[in-house]
Protein backbone atom coordinates (compact mmCIF):
# COMPACT_ATOMS: atom_id res chain seq x y z
CA UNK A 1 0.00 0.00 0.00
CA UNK A 2 1.19 3.51 -0.74
CA UNK A 3 2.57 5.69 2.04
CA UNK A 4 -0.41 7.23 3.84
CA UNK A 5 1.62 10.38 4.45
CA UNK A 6 2.10 11.01 0.74
CA UNK A 7 0.75 14.45 -0.05
CA UNK A 8 -2.36 14.05 2.10
CA UNK A 9 -2.94 17.78 2.10
CA UNK A 10 -2.75 18.15 -1.64
CA UNK A 11 -1.42 21.39 -3.11
CA UNK A 12 -1.08 24.45 -0.90
CA UNK A 13 -1.26 24.13 2.88
CA UNK A 14 0.47 20.96 4.06
CA UNK A 15 0.84 21.13 7.86
CA UNK A 16 -1.38 22.04 10.78
CA UNK A 17 1.19 24.63 11.77
CA UNK A 18 0.55 26.38 8.44
CA UNK A 19 -3.21 26.15 9.00
CA UNK A 20 -2.80 27.81 12.39
CA UNK A 21 -1.05 30.77 10.77
CA UNK A 22 -3.95 31.66 8.46
CA UNK A 23 -6.88 31.09 10.82
CA UNK A 24 -8.34 34.35 12.19
CA UNK A 25 -7.84 34.95 15.90
CA UNK A 26 -10.62 37.50 16.21
CA UNK A 27 -13.53 35.41 14.93
CA UNK A 28 -16.89 36.09 16.52
CA UNK A 29 -20.07 34.39 15.22
CA UNK A 30 -22.75 36.71 13.88
CA UNK A 31 -25.54 34.27 14.72
CA UNK A 32 -26.62 32.00 17.54
CA UNK A 33 -26.45 28.24 16.84
CA UNK A 34 -30.22 28.17 16.20
CA UNK A 35 -30.09 31.20 13.88
CA UNK A 36 -27.22 29.58 12.02
CA UNK A 37 -29.10 26.33 11.43
CA UNK A 38 -32.22 28.16 10.24
CA UNK A 39 -30.15 30.30 7.87
CA UNK A 40 -28.18 27.29 6.64
CA UNK A 41 -31.23 25.26 5.66
CA UNK A 42 -32.94 28.27 4.07
CA UNK A 43 -29.88 29.02 1.94
CA UNK A 44 -29.46 25.38 0.94
CA UNK A 45 -33.08 25.24 -0.17
CA UNK A 46 -32.62 28.46 -2.18
CA UNK A 47 -29.49 27.18 -3.93
CA UNK A 48 -30.94 23.76 -4.76
CA UNK A 49 -34.13 25.23 -6.18
CA UNK A 50 -32.43 27.89 -8.28
CA UNK A 51 -29.49 25.78 -9.43
CA UNK A 52 -31.93 23.19 -10.76
CA UNK A 53 -33.94 25.96 -12.43
CA UNK A 54 -30.96 27.64 -14.11
CA UNK A 55 -29.27 24.44 -15.31
CA UNK A 56 -32.38 22.29 -15.90
CA UNK A 57 -31.48 19.73 -13.24
CA UNK A 58 -33.53 17.28 -11.19
CA UNK A 59 -32.64 16.53 -7.57
CA UNK A 60 -31.88 12.81 -7.09
CA UNK A 61 -30.50 10.57 -4.35
CA UNK A 62 -26.89 9.42 -4.51
CA UNK A 63 -25.78 6.22 -2.74
CA UNK A 64 -23.85 6.46 0.53
CA UNK A 65 -22.68 2.83 0.36
CA UNK A 66 -21.44 1.00 -2.74
CA UNK A 67 -19.84 -2.38 -3.44
CA UNK A 68 -16.09 -2.34 -3.87
CA UNK A 69 -16.38 -4.36 -7.08
CA UNK A 70 -18.76 -1.84 -8.68
CA UNK A 71 -15.90 0.55 -9.41
CA UNK A 72 -18.24 3.46 -8.67
CA UNK A 73 -16.36 4.77 -5.65
CA UNK A 74 -13.79 7.48 -6.24
CA UNK A 75 -10.27 6.99 -4.87
CA UNK A 76 -9.60 10.77 -5.01
CA UNK A 77 -5.97 10.25 -6.00
CA UNK A 78 -3.64 8.08 -8.06
CA UNK A 79 -1.22 6.89 -5.38
CA UNK A 80 -3.68 5.08 -3.14
CA UNK A 81 -3.07 7.30 -0.11
CA UNK A 82 -6.78 8.12 0.33
CA UNK A 83 -8.68 4.87 0.81
CA UNK A 84 -12.41 4.52 1.55
CA UNK A 85 -13.92 3.09 4.72
CA UNK A 86 -14.70 -0.56 3.98
CA UNK A 87 -16.75 -3.14 5.88
CA UNK A 88 -18.59 -6.46 5.30
CA UNK A 89 -22.31 -5.97 4.74
CA UNK A 90 -25.34 -8.23 4.33
CA UNK A 91 -26.74 -10.16 7.30
CA UNK A 92 -27.60 -13.73 6.33
CA UNK A 93 -25.70 -13.77 3.04
CA UNK A 94 -23.40 -16.74 2.46
CA UNK A 95 -20.76 -14.28 1.35
CA UNK A 96 -20.86 -10.78 2.76
CA UNK A 97 -20.73 -7.82 0.40
CA UNK A 98 -17.56 -5.76 0.32
CA UNK A 99 -19.19 -2.44 1.14
CA UNK A 100 -17.52 0.96 0.97
CA UNK A 101 -18.57 4.41 2.15
CA UNK A 102 -18.66 6.77 -0.82
CA UNK A 103 -15.80 9.28 -1.06
CA UNK A 104 -17.16 11.19 -4.08
CA UNK A 105 -19.94 10.90 -6.64
CA UNK A 106 -17.74 11.65 -9.65
CA UNK A 107 -17.89 8.17 -11.20
CA UNK A 108 -21.53 7.64 -10.23
CA UNK A 109 -22.94 10.69 -12.02
CA UNK A 110 -22.26 9.62 -15.61
CA UNK A 111 -24.14 6.29 -15.46
CA UNK A 112 -26.80 8.07 -13.38
CA UNK A 113 -27.57 10.33 -16.35
CA UNK A 114 -28.41 7.20 -18.33
CA UNK A 115 -30.29 5.62 -15.42
CA UNK A 116 -32.57 8.65 -15.15
CA UNK A 117 -32.90 8.91 -18.94
CA UNK A 118 -31.67 12.51 -19.11
CA UNK A 119 -31.88 14.14 -22.54
CA UNK A 120 -29.57 16.78 -24.03
CA UNK A 121 -29.67 19.84 -21.80
CA UNK A 122 -31.10 17.90 -18.86
CA UNK A 123 -29.19 16.82 -15.79
CA UNK A 124 -29.16 15.70 -12.19
CA UNK A 125 -28.19 17.33 -8.91
CA UNK A 126 -27.61 15.62 -5.59
CA UNK A 127 -26.78 16.60 -2.04
CA UNK A 128 -23.94 14.13 -1.61
CA UNK A 129 -22.80 12.85 1.78
CA UNK A 130 -19.43 11.12 1.99
CA UNK A 131 -16.59 10.25 4.36
CA UNK A 132 -12.94 10.92 3.51
CA UNK A 133 -11.03 9.50 6.45
CA UNK A 134 -7.59 10.21 4.99
CA UNK A 135 -8.20 13.89 4.29
CA UNK A 136 -6.00 16.60 5.75
CA UNK A 137 -8.28 18.58 8.06
CA UNK A 138 -7.96 22.33 7.64
CA UNK A 139 -10.08 25.48 7.55
CA UNK A 140 -12.22 24.25 4.65
CA UNK A 141 -11.72 20.46 4.54
CA UNK A 142 -13.40 17.85 6.74
CA UNK A 143 -13.48 14.06 6.96
CA UNK A 144 -17.25 14.41 6.56
CA UNK A 145 -18.37 15.76 3.20
CA UNK A 146 -21.72 17.38 2.48
CA UNK A 147 -21.70 18.94 -0.96
CA UNK A 148 -23.72 19.37 -4.12
CA UNK A 149 -22.79 17.38 -7.19
CA UNK A 150 -24.39 17.89 -10.58
CA UNK A 151 -23.98 16.56 -14.09
CA UNK A 152 -25.75 17.45 -17.34
CA UNK A 153 -25.98 15.90 -20.80
CA UNK A 154 -24.21 17.96 -23.45
CA UNK A 155 -23.34 17.59 -27.13
CA UNK A 156 -19.82 17.46 -28.61
CA UNK A 157 -20.22 20.90 -30.21
CA UNK A 158 -20.94 22.39 -26.77
CA UNK A 159 -17.42 21.57 -25.63
CA UNK A 160 -16.16 25.11 -26.10
CA UNK A 161 -15.13 28.04 -23.93
CA UNK A 162 -18.21 30.18 -24.55
CA UNK A 163 -20.58 27.39 -23.51
CA UNK A 164 -18.52 26.84 -20.36
CA UNK A 165 -18.62 30.56 -19.54
CA UNK A 166 -22.39 30.60 -20.03
CA UNK A 167 -22.79 27.75 -17.53
CA UNK A 168 -20.48 29.48 -15.05
CA UNK A 169 -22.49 32.71 -15.33
CA UNK A 170 -25.68 30.81 -14.53
CA UNK A 171 -24.04 29.26 -11.48
CA UNK A 172 -22.74 32.65 -10.40
CA UNK A 173 -26.25 34.09 -10.72
CA UNK A 174 -27.44 31.50 -8.21
CA UNK A 175 -24.52 32.11 -5.84
CA UNK A 176 -24.99 35.87 -5.94
CA UNK A 177 -28.72 35.46 -5.44
CA UNK A 178 -28.05 33.21 -2.45
CA UNK A 179 -25.84 35.88 -0.90
CA UNK A 180 -28.55 38.50 -1.28
CA UNK A 181 -31.19 36.09 0.02
CA UNK A 182 -29.04 35.27 3.06
CA UNK A 183 -28.73 38.94 4.00
CA UNK A 184 -32.45 39.58 3.52
CA UNK A 185 -33.39 36.45 5.45
CA UNK A 186 -30.82 37.08 8.20
CA UNK A 187 -30.10 40.84 8.51
CA UNK A 188 -27.32 40.19 11.04
CA UNK A 189 -25.22 38.81 8.17
CA UNK A 190 -25.14 42.22 6.49
CA UNK A 191 -21.77 43.60 7.57
CA UNK A 192 -18.95 45.64 6.07
CA UNK A 193 -16.55 42.87 7.05
CA UNK A 194 -18.00 40.67 4.31
CA UNK A 195 -18.68 42.63 1.09
CA UNK A 196 -21.44 41.73 -1.35
CA UNK A 197 -20.69 39.46 -4.29
CA UNK A 198 -19.89 41.38 -7.49
CA UNK A 199 -22.51 41.51 -10.25
CA UNK A 200 -20.30 40.08 -12.98
CA UNK A 201 -17.45 37.59 -13.09
CA UNK A 202 -14.14 38.34 -14.77
CA UNK A 203 -12.67 35.39 -16.64
CA UNK A 204 -8.88 35.14 -16.52
CA UNK A 205 -6.50 32.63 -18.04
CA UNK A 206 -3.92 31.05 -15.76
CA UNK A 207 -1.20 32.56 -17.94
CA UNK A 208 -2.64 36.05 -17.34
CA UNK A 209 -2.49 35.54 -13.59
CA UNK A 210 1.07 34.25 -13.85
CA UNK A 211 2.06 37.38 -15.78
CA UNK A 212 0.46 39.56 -13.10
CA UNK A 213 2.07 37.71 -10.18
CA UNK A 214 5.23 36.03 -11.51
CA UNK A 215 6.85 35.66 -8.08
CA UNK A 216 4.05 33.73 -6.40
CA UNK A 217 4.56 29.96 -5.99
**46-90 confidence digits (pLDDT tens):** 999 999 999 999 999 999 999 999 999 988 887 778 899 999 999
Residue 217: inside a domain, yes or no? no
pLDDT at 217: 67
Range in 3-12, 79-88, 183-192 the model is least confident about = 3-12
Q: What is the pLDDT of residues 98-141, one digit of tens each?
A: 999 999 999 999 999 999 999 999 999 999 999 999 988 887 88
Domain count, the chain: 1
Residue 111: inside a domain, yes or no? yes
**Domain span at 87:** 32-212
Residue 92: inside a domain, yes or no? yes
Residue 82: inside a domain, yes or no? yes
Write the CATH number for 39: 3.30.930.10
pLDDT at 78: 76
- Quote the CA–CA distance of 37 and 19 in Å, as a whole number: 26
- Quote the CA–CA distance of 167 and 175 in Å, as a whole number: 13
Q: What is the pLDDT of residues 141-175, one digit of tens each?
A: 889 999 999 999 999 999 999 999 999 999 999 99
Residue 12: inside a domain, yes or no? no
C-alpha dihedral sign at 129, 170, 60, 82: negative
Residue 64: inside a domain, yes or no? yes
Closest by CA to 38, choosing from 136, 173, 182, is: 182
Amino acid sequence: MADKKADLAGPGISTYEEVEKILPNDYKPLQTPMQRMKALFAIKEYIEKNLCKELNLQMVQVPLIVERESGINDMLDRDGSRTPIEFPCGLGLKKALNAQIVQAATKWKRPALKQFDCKIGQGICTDMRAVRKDYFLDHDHSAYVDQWDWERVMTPDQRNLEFLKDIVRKIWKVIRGAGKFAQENSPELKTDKYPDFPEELTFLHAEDILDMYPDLP
